[in-house]
Structure 1
Amino acid sequence: MSNKMKDIQFPSVNYDDWKEQAIKALKGKPFETLFSKTIEGVTLEPLYTQEMLVEKMGGQLEKQISTIRSLKMSATFLAAQQIYGKTPEQFFSNIQDSLNRGNDVLTIDSRMPFEWNDDSLSQLVNYISENSFKFYVQNENDSLLKVFNKIDDSNKQKINGFIISETPVTLEGFEKVRTYSANTVTYHNDGANAIQELAIALALAAKYAQLEENFEDFTKKYFVNFAVDTQFFSEIAKLRAFKVLWKAFSSAYGFNNPSAIPVFAETSLRSFSKLDVYVNLLRAGNEAFAALIGGADLITVHPHDVLSEPTEQSIRIARNVLLVLKEESFVADVLDPSGGSYFIESLTAEYVEKAWQLFIEIEDAGGIDAFSQSGKLQAAIEEVYNSRLKAVETRKHSLIGTNIYANPVDELPLATNPQHSQIKRLAIPFENLREKYNEVQPSIAILTIGKLKNFKARADFVAGFFATAGIILKQSGEIETIEDAIGWLKQVNYDYVIVAGNDEDTKSLIPSILAQKPKNLILDVAGKFKEEETEWLNSGLNGFIFAGQNLIVKLKEVLESLKGVQR
């Protein structure tokens, strides 16, 4: 058998052959329906081939791959997990536990529940003298920065770390502490897309490069911090594209062989939800893996309950995500895991081209500060954010456990982590809506007409629709006559009912139901009925529920109607 298998020859198939078969499988739908457009404006093709990639990039392909591989800062990545603690005692206990359990870089946000006094700063000195660190501070007057005043001049050369701040921090004598952070996470959290983040990273580099006498001194202080979202391949391409852009940027300053710049990545919180929080763990795992494949040097995984109050268990799980990736995936042993992929290389090149164009636009406007002050940057990011929000509200983009497959009995946590309260998360409208429905406690049901096989699909859709607001709907069971329908409506006394059935059953019963329904009952129909819409609405129908509808808009409308009729 094995010898015969060695002799098997598979016929070669080219793109045209594949396209022909794809068109047949589409059964009349246009071939163009297989193409999709990303939020960055990049058109994704259904299939990528070697010939397409070579035609697109030519001799630039080899340069792109070699640039990405040569600008990798380290052979593997380091775990940079954030340290939490309500008291100094708990905080420092967690530091030691974190180090014992595999954390490489101490990540500390200065906004702690306790004060950074002399005692806590003195204890912190002992840890940052022996371990790398990543600090998040508000500005150069942040109290956490006083820790550097407690370090002897003889030990300053040992201190190795990074400081993320909105404005660069000045430290004298700490040559191994990088303070020029292109922190694109704040823009990411406002809704920015990958191309905008890349352009902003370069624009910040251009701004900070002017603060040093020469470009080489600047590169020793500069690093970039990205948030990695759930768009797996897009985020891989984003991290790879930065390295290509960095070389082009350095070349403009006369450095054709630039030094590698540390690339940080942290899991995105704009896709996190307070609903069904364990799904956040899946999101974070996906994002961390993308960061690893994309070539990040330091990775931070946020705990799945970080939006409320991280627990000892969730912090440990988050750290273990990185340890499993490092020890069991073996991806870290490969210099450029996605290198040579037709799709990834094409996407990387697209991001490089578009991000460079946007960077030039920012520079022509006078730099990142002038571009921001003009309102153009915020307007562009706001436009992308609104597009993201609309995609979530219409379910074109899924937030599992929030806008689809929601658990209606899931309770929102009362605690809120102030460190992340300003993020424009996509789940917020659903969380707010669930709170409002919980206050009103409406009485809602589905009137299912016909046989089970005829109404089940639409009834399940409606149940899932309202589950996003935390509502569990009752169902009438099989109702096949107008008499049974009206009898049930009068008996149960609900505030709001949705009729679900197939098109034929719905069309036959709705006119009679509308003529005899209880006066104060709000009635909707599941499905789109364009021809009957005007007539039914004029006869007292409230509206329709259908796929592609804006969930937030519809559910808000229903809630307002319910407030006026509740018994």
Structure 2
Amino acid sequence: MTKNKLFSNFDPVSSKAFKQKIQFDLKGASYNDTLVWNTNEGIDIKPFYHRDETTHFPEVPGLPATWHIGEDIFIHDTSLAVQTANNYIASGAEALYFSADAPFDARLFFNTLDKTYAPIYFKLHFLDENFYQEIIKEAGDRTVYLNIDLIHHLAEEGNWYHNLAEDHRMLDNILQKETHTISIDIDLYQNAGATMVQQLAYGLAHANEYLLHLNEMEVSIPSITFQVAIGSNYFFEIAKLRALRQLITVLKDEYAFAKAATTHIIARPTRRNKTIYDYNTNMLRTTTEAMSAVLGGADTVINMPYDYIYHKTNDFGQRISRNQLIILKKESYFDAVSNPSDGTYYIEAITKQLAEKALALFKDIEQQGGFLKQLKEGTIQRKIKESAQKEQTQFDTQEKILLGTNKHPNPSDRMKDSLELYPFVKIKPRKTLIEPIIKQRLSEKMEQERLKTEA
């Protein structure tokens, strides 16, 4: 059936006509005061978006044709970690994200890991040049991403791995080998309470620090990997990922060696809105967050088990979180279209505004000396704290709702005897070069008070 036959009986309605009808129905109430609301990002949200009010929206470059279902695996015992990985692959995992606190047997690891052409990511909590070279050697033709992010380590821990000069020397040597991928971990900013505009601007400035440094080296950069945390503001999170691709493309175009680099995004649900009470609601939150990640154009989505906050890794929690993604991909066909958000006036408008505001903040950071300088001065930490406190106040006053925690809590819930992990911010006194950026959940203080009063 043709378009004319479908819509020939319906006359187009202009945005002006819509507004006139809305204003009539408001019976004298103010259109802006009643229906337009402002977000923490400083963006006004209108009650409707119309094509005759839209301008040209820039294309979102580099969107993936499909996305991978990822799994987190910690390497303590190499053989056990590989066995777990092989089981996850057999159960539907399509990408593997490994973390470790110490070197492991790389040869045993790759020789016993099932042959798969899915991405393999490494996030090692140490910097050892020789060990990274060993990973590159043993990986062979597998697709491996070494998520080395010196600045993220500094921001989160307050110190370099060794010192500035030694860390950069090691990174330079690693990048001059077979794997020339830089990694930007911006989930720290989201989990610490930064707004989306701040997340995008800090991620862009964070990336620029590496590009400025690498501009002096004669190496090519085939890809730039971003690790991003996704919150529960469904449409805004879709727009955030789209804006990220637009912004990093603008930045790459300023560097000849990076122009051809692809943008690879690993997305996972945020910890910030997860709760220990009424914990099953975490499954609802992670489902919509995973949907935002997919529709926003993430390459790999790694879900968070509903009990991740307070339980040790367990098969049931991992299976449920993996099945959430499998249902989205295999049963809900979230991989059927590569750019489902294209042409959606609301999402396009938010994307445009987020990108413009983030670019303005990025330019301001660069004019003030760059991201590292502001991090060392404490400016970045102060700005994130201000945003986090605003959001915390919204939670405390029930302007921001977490169902089952600050609204409609279940008074019979008892969690004191179920905590296998400490779910709150851990204080680790140590001498640091800068003030660390601290991840913190919104419900921590309220949960601590409830735990004290449990019978």
Tell me if TM exceeds 0.5.
Answer: yes
What is the Cα deviation at residue 159 of structure 1? Answer: 4.2
What is the Cα deviation at residue 362 of structure 1? Answer: 1.2
- Any idea what SS the aligned residue of 2:121 has? strand
**Is the CA contact (8 Å cut-off) linking 2:75 and 2:100 kept in structure 1?**
no
Q: Distance in 2 between matches of 1:257 and 1:375?
A: 32
Structure 1 residues 270 and 6, CA gap change in structure 2 (3 angstroms) = closer
The CA deviation string for residues 172-224 of structure 1, in whole angstroms up to 9 with x for no partner, is: 7752463x211001111111111111112211221111332568945325211
| TM alignment of 1:139-178, pairs within 5 A | 139-141=126-128, 148=132, 150=134, 153=137, 155=138, 157-167=140-150, 169=171, 170-171=173-174, 175-176=178-179, 178=181
Q: Which residue of 137, 154, 169 corresponds with 2:124?
A: 137
Q: Which residue of 370, 377, 396 corresponds with 1:393?
A: 396
The CA deviation string for residues 81-111 of structure 1, in whole angstroms up to 9 with x for no partner, is: 1125886665333211101112122112225
Partner of 1:404: 407
Structure 1 residues 7 and 302, CA gap change in structure 2 (3 angstroms) = closer
Partner of 2:157: none
Between 270-279 and 82-91, report the one with greater CA deviation: 82-91
Q: Distance in 2 between matches of 1:172 and 1:35?
A: 49
Structure 1 residues 283 and 108, CA gap change in structure 2 (3 angstroms) = same
**Is the CA contact (8 Å cut-off) linking 2:85 and 2:96 kept in structure 1?**
yes
What is the Cα deviation at residue 146 of structure 1? Answer: 6.7
What is the Cα deviation at residue 270 of structure 1? Answer: 0.8
Cα RMSD (Å) of the superposition?
A: 2.9
Structure 1 residues 401 and 342, CA gap change in structure 2 (3 angstroms) = same
What is the Cα deviation at residue 152 of structure 1? Answer: 8.5
Partner of 1:26: 26
- Any idea what SS the aligned residue of 1:331 has? coil
What is the Cα deviation at residue 352 of structure 1? Answer: 1.1
- Any idea what SS the aligned residue of 1:227 has? strand
Structure 1 unaligned residues grouped into runs of 5+? 55-59, 442-567
Structure 1 residues 42 and 127, CA gap change in structure 2 (3 angstroms) = farther
What is the Cα deviation at residue 312 of structure 1? Answer: 0.8
**Is the CA contact (8 Å cut-off) linking 1:138 and 1:166 kept in structure 2?**
no
Structure 1 residues 151 and 297, CA gap change in structure 2 (3 angstroms) = closer
The CA deviation string for residues 365-384 of structure 1, in whole angstroms up to 9 with x for no partner, is: 21111011222211111111
Q: Distance in 2 between matches of 1:6 and 1:341?
A: 20
1:96 corresponds to 2:83 = no
Q: Residue type matched to 1:105 in 2?
A: A
What is the Cα deviation at residue 151 of structure 1? Answer: 5.5
Structure 1 residues 374 and 129, CA gap change in structure 2 (3 angstroms) = farther
Partner of 2:449: 433
Q: Distance in 2 between matches of 1:227 and 1:247?
A: 20
Q: Distance in 2 between matches of 1:117 and 1:259?
A: 30
Q: Distance in 2 between matches of 1:80 and 1:388?
A: 30
Q: Residue type matched to 1:234 in 2?
A: F
**Is the CA contact (8 Å cut-off) linking 2:237 and 2:293 kept in structure 1?**
yes
Structure 1 residues 151 and 345, CA gap change in structure 2 (3 angstroms) = closer
Q: Which residue of 334, 337, 340 corresponds with 1:337?
A: 340
Identity of aligned residues (%): 26
**Is the CA contact (8 Å cut-off) linking 2:239 and 2:351 kept in structure 1?**
yes
Partner of 1:43: 44
What is the Cα deviation at residue 303 of structure 1? Answer: 0.7
Partner of 2:420: 415
Q: Residue type matched to 1:136 in 2?
A: K
Q: Distance in 2 between matches of 1:7 and 1:290?
A: 31
| TM alignment of 1:415-564, pairs within 5 A | 415-416=420-421, 423-438=439-454
Partner of 1:276: 278
- Any idea what SS the aligned residue of 1:302 has? coil
What is the Cα deviation at residue 126 of structure 1? Answer: 2.5
What is the Cα deviation at residue 225 of structure 1? Answer: 1.1
Partner of 1:71: 62
Between 92-101 and 169-178, report the one with greater CA deviation: 169-178
TM-score by length of 1: 0.67
- Any idea what SS the aligned residue of 1:108 has? strand
Partner of 1:524: none
What is the Cα deviation at residue 51 of structure 1? Answer: 1.2
What is the Cα deviation at residue 128 of structure 1? Answer: 6.2
Q: Distance in 2 between matches of 1:202 and 1:231?
A: 21
Q: Distance in 2 between matches of 1:195 and 1:204?
A: 14
The CA deviation string for residues 450-507 of structure 1, in whole angstroms up to 9 with x for no partner, is: xxxxxxxxxxxxxxxxxxxxxxxxxxxxxxxxxxxxxxxxxxxxxxxxxxxxxxxxxx
What is the Cα deviation at residue 164 of structure 1? Answer: 2.9
What is the Cα deviation at residue 418 of structure 1? Answer: 7.6
Bigger Cα Rg: 1
| TM alignment of 1:93-132, pairs within 5 A | 93-111=83-101, 118=105, 121-126=106-111, 130-131=115-116, 132=119
Q: Distance in 2 between matches of 1:222 and 1:430?
A: 39
- Any idea what SS the aligned residue of 2:401 has? coil
Q: Distance in 1 between matches of 2:30 and 2:327?
A: 43
1:291 corresponds to 2:293 = yes
Q: Distance in 1 between matches of 2:73 and 2:202?
A: 28
The CA deviation string for residues 42-80 of structure 1, in whole angstroms up to 9 with x for no partner, is: 1111111111112xxxxx42xx12xx1x422x3101122
Structure 1 residues 280 and 216, CA gap change in structure 2 (3 angstroms) = farther
Structure 2 unaligned residues grouped into runs of 5+? 151-167, 427-437
**Is the CA contact (8 Å cut-off) linking 2:424 and 2:440 kept in structure 1?**
no
- Any idea what SS the aligned residue of 1:80 has? strand
Between 248-257 and 374-383, report the one with greater CA deviation: 248-257
Q: Distance in 1 between matches of 2:364 and 2:330?
A: 43
What is the Cα deviation at residue 149 of structure 1? Answer: 5.7
Q: Distance in 2 between matches of 1:150 and 1:191?
A: 37
**Is the CA contact (8 Å cut-off) linking 2:201 and 2:358 kept in structure 1?**
yes
Structure 1 residues 99 and 187, CA gap change in structure 2 (3 angstroms) = same
Q: Distance in 1 between matches of 2:113 and 2:350?
A: 39
Between 429-438 and 288-297, report the one with greater CA deviation: 429-438
Partner of 2:432: none
Partner of 2:330: 327
What is the Cα deviation at residue 357 of structure 1? Answer: 0.8
**Is the CA contact (8 Å cut-off) linking 2:97 and 2:120 kept in structure 1?**
yes
| TM alignment of 1:194-205, pairs within 5 A | 194-205=196-207
Q: Distance in 2 between matches of 1:117 and 1:152?
A: 14
